[in-house]
Amino acid sequence: MTTDEIRAYFEAKGISQREVARFIGVDTRTVRRWFVGDPPPPRLFELAIEADIFDTEKYTTRTANKLVLRRKNERNDQPRD
């Protein structure tokens, strides 16, 4: 997925980089770098776009926060080396 495709997707949805960052639980600077391709976004981010999880009609901020919390909890539950 190109950076132009990523930008076009979020522009069409009317979703800002700040909202994307909040939705997935990363810093706004990280999203800003992904939007310019330095570094390229992780494949999981591209898959999320392809799955259209950023559809604001389907997913509210509350839902996004629940997903982020679940992800953080799953990371915390993993055994540490």
- pLDDT tens track of the chain, all 81 residues? 899 999 999 999 889 999 899 888 899 999 999 999 999 999 888 888 888 888 766 555 666 667 667 777 777 776 665
Assessment of whether the complete model's pTM goes beyond 0.95: no
pLDDT given at position 69: 73
Domain of residue 64: give its range.
Answer: 3-76
What pLDDT is recorded for position 31? 94
What is the reported pLDDT for 10?
92
Number of domains in the chain: 1
Q: How far apart are CA 62 and CA 67, in angstroms?
A: 9
> Is residue 33 included in any domain, yes or no?
yes
Amino acid at 33: R
Predicted local confidence at residue 70, as pLDDT = 77
Question: Long-range CB contacts (< 8 A, 24+ apart) of 68-73?
Answer: 68/23, 68/24, 68/25, 71/25, 72/25
**Is 81 part of a structural domain of the chain?**
no
Rounded Cα–Cα distance for residues 19 and 60 (Å): 11
